[in-house]
């Protein structure tokens, strides 16, 4: 199931079951179960669960990297330091190949983005109902744990990348150079081509931003949804349902390790590529 | 639809995932990290060994240099001493030679004096005999007066 179809299916389910999804406990229909799991801890304007869990994941990243930096030794590294060193060197390597220019901010940014997305995605591997159960015990009706399965989070990050693309475009090329590029690339500098150039460039920036946010969101949302569907097997409270749940759930969880890292890697690489493109003159 | 049943299954899945990670993901990762640490440790140890070797070489070099300097000093001192001894010997030999030459010259002079004295003496004897012959107007037979003549000669 691709990300897009998964998103689509989820929305259909959500719409179909919207009437059935009532607050309250007791036996739920499968549709209610899924709709319940897709509900945010929100006041309609602000998804507190996404904010809190992304903030926690970010704090964990800061804490881990800070710990590594504080305890860094020039001698033989321990396992923890070696792991961080490998990560840092790897990100530094990637950024060096992609971004040609001052990388004193961009390389650490890429490392932070990668680890942050990894930690946020990893929340998907926790038992689906565990944290919502604690939440319900604390009186919180709706709780979605995985921030990257919320479009607000991923598009927010993508907007951050867009801001950096624009910032570096201005910084590297200057306002005049950037304007020239907006109006004269890719078709040519003839005044009649200016509108077409500008339009295409705007579309390009929007497409980059939206695809960056949607890709991560779609993958994580689809993964979360499949976990929910698998959870329905266990919810049948039969032996075959239990066995199928454990079997498919394990397979999907193990496969999800790959997705967690891969999507974080893709997000980081595209961040670097987009910022790198802002460094290049056309 | 039973939340408790699926929650149990979810926890089983979670532990399967944990087992999988522990069995298949963790060990290679740890191996890679240990390998890296080992390589770094080896590199650092090699660097330390290199530094130590350099230090040892420097110490050895210093020792060799000091020894060479000492040897040179000793050779110099010995040479000087030998030269002094040689000079002393030469001086003594020259002095001795000088003394010997002086002695020889003295002896030669003494001999020469003796010889001259002897010649003078025989000449005086002959002169005395010739004088006496003229006074006596006759021949003096050397054979007859040999004893007289030799006594005269000895008394001169």
Mean pLDDT of B18-26: 93
pLDDT value at residue A16: 43
Chain A residues whose C-beta is within 8 A of a chain B C-beta are 27-30, 32-33, 75-79, 82-83, 85-86, 125-130, 133, 230-237, 241-242, 245-246, 249-250, 253-254, 257
Domain count along chain A: 1
What are the structural domain ranges in chain B?
25-155
Provide the residue range defining the domain that includes A148. 3-278
Kindly determine whether residue B14 and residue A253, on different chains, have CB atoms separated by under 8 Å: yes
Q: Is the ipTM of this complex over 0.85?
A: no
Nearest CA to CA, how far is B47 from chain A (Å)? 12
pLDDT at B7 over 90: no
pLDDT value at residue A34: 87
Return the closest-CA partner of residue A209 out of A278, A259, A149, A256. Answer: A278
Kindly list the residues from chain A whose CB atom is less than 8 angstroms away from the CB atom of residue B40.
76-77, 82
Kindly determine whether residue A231 and residue B41, on different chains, have CB atoms separated by under 8 Å: no
For the stretch B98-137, pLDDT in tens is 999 999 999 999 999 999 988 888 888 788 878 877 877 6
Look-up of token digits 């390998």: B35
Kindly list the residues from chain A whose CB atom is less than 8 angstroms away from the CB atom of residue B6.
128-129, 231-235, 245
pLDDT value at residue B138: 66
Kindly determine whether residue A232 and residue B6, on different chains, have CB atoms separated by under 8 Å: yes
Rounded to the nearest 10 degrees, the angle between the axes of helix A48-70 and helix A106-122 is 120
Structure-block tokens of residue A124: 């998907």
Give the sign of the dihedral formed by CA A30, CA A33, CA A38, CA A44: positive
For the stretch B42-93, pLDDT in tens is 999 999 999 999 999 999 999 999 999 999 999 999 999 999 999 999 999 9
pLDDT value at residue B136: 77
pLDDT value at residue A24: 46
For A238, list phi and psi in degrees, rounded to 5. Answer: -120, 165
pLDDT value at residue B44: 92
- The set of catalytic residues of A is 211, 215, 219
Long-range contacts at A250-257 (CB < 8 A, ≥ 24 apart): A250/B13, A250/B16, A250/B17, A250/B20, A252/A223, A252/A226, A252/A227, A253/A125, A253/A227, A253/B13, A253/B14, A253/B16, A253/B17, A253/B20, A254/B17, A254/B20, A256/A124, A256/A125, A256/A223, A257/A125, A257/B17, A257/B21, A257/B25
Which residues of chain A fall short of a pLDDT of 50? 1-3, 7, 13-24
Give which of A75, A235, A244, A257 to mutate to test B binding, by max B Cβ within 10 Å.
A235
């Amino acid at each position: 199931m691709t990300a897009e179809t998964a998103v689509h299916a989820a929305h259909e389910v959500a719409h179909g079951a919207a009437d059935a999804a009532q607050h309250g406990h007791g036996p739920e229909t499968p549709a209610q179960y899924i709709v319940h799991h897709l509900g945010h801890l929100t006041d309609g304007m602000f998804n507190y669960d996404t904010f809190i869990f992304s903030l926690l994941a970010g704090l964990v990243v800061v804490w881990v990297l800070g710990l590594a930096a504080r305890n860094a030794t020039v001698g033989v590294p321990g396992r923890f330091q070696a792991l961080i060193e490998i990560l840092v060197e790897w990100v530094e390597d990637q950024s060096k190949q992609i971004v040609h220019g001052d990388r004193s901010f961009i390389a650490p940014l890429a490392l932070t983005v990668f680890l942050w997305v990894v930690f946020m995605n990893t929340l998907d591997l926790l038992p689906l109902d565990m944290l919502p159960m604690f939440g319900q015990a604390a009186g919180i009706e709706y709780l979605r744990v995985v921030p990257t399965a919320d479009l607000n989070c991923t598009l927010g990050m993508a907007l951050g990348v867009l801001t950096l693309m624009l910032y570096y475009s201005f910084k590297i090329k200057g306002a005049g150079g950037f304007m020239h590029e907006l109006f004269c690339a890719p078709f040519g500098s003839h005044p009649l081509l200016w509108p077409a150039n500008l339009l295409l460039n705007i579309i390009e920036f929007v497409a980059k931003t939206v695809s960056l946010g949607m890709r991560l969101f779609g993958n994580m949302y689809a993964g979360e949804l499949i976990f929910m569907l698998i959870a329905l097997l266990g919810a049948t409270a039969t032996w075959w349902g239990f066995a199928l749940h454990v079997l498919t759930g394990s397979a999907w969880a193990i496969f999800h390790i790959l997705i967690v890292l891969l999507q974080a890697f893709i997000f980081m690489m595209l961040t670097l590529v987009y910022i790198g493109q802002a460094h290049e003159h056309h | 639809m039973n939340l408790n049943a699926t929650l149990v299954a979810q926890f089983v899945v979670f532990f399967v995932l944990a087992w999988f990670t522990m069995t298949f993901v963790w060990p290679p990762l740890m191996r890679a990290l240990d390998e890296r640490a080992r390589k770094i440790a080896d590199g650092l140890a090699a660097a330390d060994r290199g530094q130590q070797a350099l230090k040892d070489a420097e110490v050895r070099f210093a020792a060799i240099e000091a020894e060479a300097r000492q040897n040179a000093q000793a050779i110099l001192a010995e040479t000087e001493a030998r030269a002094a001894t040689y000079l002393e010997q030469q001086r003594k030999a020259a002095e001795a030679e000088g003394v010997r030459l002086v002695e020889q010259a003295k002896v030669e002079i003494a001999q020469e004096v003796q010889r001259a004295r002897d010649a003078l003496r025989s000449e005086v004897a002959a002169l005395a005999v010739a004088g006496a012959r003229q006074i006596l107007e006759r021949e003096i037979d050397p054979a007859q007066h040999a004893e007289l003549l030799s006594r005269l000669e000895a008394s001169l």
